[in-house]
Amino acid sequence: MTLKALLISFVLMGTSVSAWAQSTPSVKGEVKKVDMSAGKMTLQHGAIPNLDMSAMTMVFKAADPAMLKSVKAGDKVKFTAERVNGQLTVTTIHKAK
């Protein structure tokens, strides 16, 4: 299921997207690499409870390629990640304050 299809199904079920996003924990991390051509980024991150993942450095797909333009290697970030179509995917990201 694509992210778009997932969001549409939440709306049709009466679940707000914002409520869904709030239930996905935000994780602190640091951008290690951005690969625009592959649509991916490498993040060093803390534990991601919803993915049952401990702290490590991993490559994630960007849910929206525009996300990749908002960060660069060395940036401290907060992000959410989900498994979308079997791929670890960053669904939101912003620079940490």
Per residue in 14-49, pLDDT tens? 444 444 445 789 999 999 999 999 999 999 999 999
What is the pTM for the complete model shown? 0.76
pLDDT given at position 19 = 47
Domain residue limits, the chain: 25-95
CATH level 2 (architecture), domain 25-95: Beta Barrel (2.40)
How far is Cα 33 from Cα 26, in angstroms, rounded to an integer? 20
